[in-house]
């Protein structure tokens, strides 16, 4: 009998250890149907054991940090070198991971021969490059960033003055998608850019461009948000800025992906907050299919001075890792889209609501531009605290909408913008 208990004890211990080992992003993301990924850079190529161990344990998706860019794959016309990228594909296939393709048409790390300064030859070269690369990876890469960073940085909202634009003209984007679709009709084709995570001038121009492509019947299936952020982005407006922005792209019927996330900053708690906000929106909106971070360890990041990743220099998980894990383990429910139109003004009014006696009376006024005006009140975690419809001329006392014990910062959101209110006792 003693023997039996001992065996059972050992089995229980082994089982518990196995369970503890199983705890990973991948485990929960697989259950949720989420592609959770990382970029593979030089630590992968060097086959660094600590690095690869983390990648295999945590991620179900990978992307080449550099090795699928034109300058590496196709430096000389007609003489592609797939050797480095193929190692990544082999690794991914061996470990049952998906591969995102990154990237076919980009102004940086491009091959010199493609853009000639002249329209017809550049179109021909672009077509040849896309065919050469996509043919090779057909069936192995199920989604490609076809065009990367075609837009100028905010606030101009114009197309980037690149050799693509100068050689072909603004419709180079249309052509790239059309060529790519012809090569592999089953492949999901993405437009990918940075500085587009929240509502704002650049995301507005990306929205306009993508909508134009769709209206013209161009085969585009997804939008990638690079999400190169900073810890200073951890402001109350971030959550809704991201969510409302993502919602409008989702409404176009597109897949959404966070494609290159990293968050610079020495305040690792704030950094964790930014990662967490993006993961929260990812889990809340079914259209967001992928959450990809741009590397594993701070030291190896292209922004290494900003310690932007999930693991520190000793391969230890940082607060951001813990925050993402907690969310994956206990995901938020899908959200209902906000009833009004979406706008978060950069400058916002603010007020203070004192929760005692006569002071509980911060009143909101609908000035009548939109009437009736739906408002929604969120807390900083993005939880809807209350909603109401305001009529012009009739002030609404905010305190009447809130639970008595509530304290903290609230965002009162309407078409007119966001009013930030501190509720104190």
Q: Which residues are catalytic?
A: 149, 260
Q: How many residues bind ligand XIL (CB under 6 A)?
A: 8
In angstroms, give the least distance from the CB of 328 to ligand XIL.
Answer: 25
Instruction: Indicate the helix (H) or strand (E) that contains 354.
Output: strand 350-354
Q: Pattern of binders to ligand XIL over 245-274, x per CB under 6 A?
A: ---------------x--------------
Q: What is the C-alpha separation between 91 and 38, in angstroms, rounded?
A: 13
The binder of ligand XIL chosen from 110, 197, 226, 290 (CB under 6 A) = 226
In angstroms, give the least distance from the CB of 351 to ligand XIL.
Answer: 39
Contact between 302 and ligand XIL per CB under 6 A? yes
- Tokens for 322? 């813990």
Q: What is the C-alpha separation between 67 and 52, in angstroms, rounded?
A: 17
- Binders in 316-375 for ligand XIL, by CB under 6 A: none
Q: Nearest to ligand XIL by Cβ — which residue? A: 302
- Binders in 142-181 for ligand XIL, by CB under 6 A: 148
Q: Is the separation of the CB atoms in 71 and 109 below 8 Å? A: yes
Q: What is the C-alpha separation between 296 and 40, in angstroms, rounded?
A: 8
- Tokens for 204? 């507005």
Alpha helices, DSSP H only, in 184-220? 201-215
- Binders in 93-132 for ligand XIL, by CB under 6 A: none
In angstroms, give the least distance from the CB of 41 to ligand XIL.
Answer: 6
In angstroms, give the least distance from the CB of 418 to ligand XIL.
Answer: 29
Pairing relation of β-strands 98-105 and 363-364? unpaired
Closest to ligand XIL by CB, 308 vs 331, is 308
In angstroms, give the least distance from the CB of 350 to ligand XIL.
Answer: 34
Contact between 66 and ligand XIL per CB under 6 A? yes
Closest to ligand XIL by CB, 310 vs 328, is 310
Contact between 65 and ligand XIL per CB under 6 A? yes
The 3-state DSSP class for residue 178 equals helix
∠ at Cα 407 (402, 409), nearest 5°?
A: 95
HSE-CB for 39 with a 13 A CA cutoff: 26
The dihedral through the CA atoms of 29, 30, 32, 38 has a sign that is: positive
Site residues (vs ligand XIL, CB under 6 A): 41, 65-66, 148, 194, 226, 260, 302
């Amino acid at each position: 009998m003693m023997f039996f208990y001992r065996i059972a004890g050992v089995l229980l211990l082994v089982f518990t250890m196995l369970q503890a080992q199983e705890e990973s992003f991948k485990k929960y993301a697989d259950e949720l149907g989420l592609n959770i990924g990382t970029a593979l850079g030089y630590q992968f190529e060097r086959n660094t054991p600590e690095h690869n161990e983390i990648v295999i344990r945590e991620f179900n998706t990978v992307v080449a940090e550099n090795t699928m860019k034109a300058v590496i794959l196709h430096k000389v016309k007609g003489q592609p070198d797939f050797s480095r990228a193929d190692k990544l594909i082999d690794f991914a296939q061996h470990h049952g991971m998906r591969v995102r393709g990154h990237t076919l048409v980009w102004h940086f790390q491009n091959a010199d021969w493609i853009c000639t300064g002249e329209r017809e030859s550049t179109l021909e070269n672009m077509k040849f490059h896309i065919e050469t690369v996509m043919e090779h990876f057909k069936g192995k890469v199920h989604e490609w960033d076809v065009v990367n960073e075609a837009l100028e940085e905010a606030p101009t909202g114009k197309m980037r003055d690149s050799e693509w634009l100068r050689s072909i003209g603004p419709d180079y984007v249309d052509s790239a998608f059309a060529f790519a679709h012809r090569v592999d009709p089953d492949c999901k084709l993405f437009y990918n850019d940075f500085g587009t995570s929240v509502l704002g001038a650049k995301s507005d121009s990306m929205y306009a461009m993508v909508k134009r492509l769709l209206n013209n019947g161009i085969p585009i299936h997804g939008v990638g948000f690079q999400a190169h952020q900073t810890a200073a982005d951890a402001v109350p407006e971030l959550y809704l800025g991201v969510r409302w922005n993502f919602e409008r792209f989702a409404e176009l019927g597109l897949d959404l992906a966070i494609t290159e996330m990293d968050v610079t900053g020495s305040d690792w708690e704030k950094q964790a907050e930014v990662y967490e906000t993006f993961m929260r929106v990812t889990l809340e909106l079914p259209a967001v299919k992928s959450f990809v971070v741009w590397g594993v360890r701070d030291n190896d990041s292209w922004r290494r001075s900003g310690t932007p990743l999930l693991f520190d220099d000793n391969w230890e998980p940082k607060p951001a890792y813990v925050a993402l894990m907690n969310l994956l383990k206990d995901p938020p429910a899908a959200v209902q889209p906000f009833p009004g139109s979406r706008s978060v003004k950069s400058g916002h009014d603010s007020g203070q609501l004192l929760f005692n006696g006569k002071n509980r009376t911060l009143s909101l006024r609908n000035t009548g531009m939109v009437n009736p005006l739906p408002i929604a009140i969120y807390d900083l975690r993005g939880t809807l605290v209350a909603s109401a419809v305001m009529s012009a001329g009739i002030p609404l006392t905010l305190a009447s909408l809130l639970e008595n014990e509530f304290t903290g910062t609230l965002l009162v959101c309407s078409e007119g913008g966001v009013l930030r209110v501190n509720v104190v006792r």
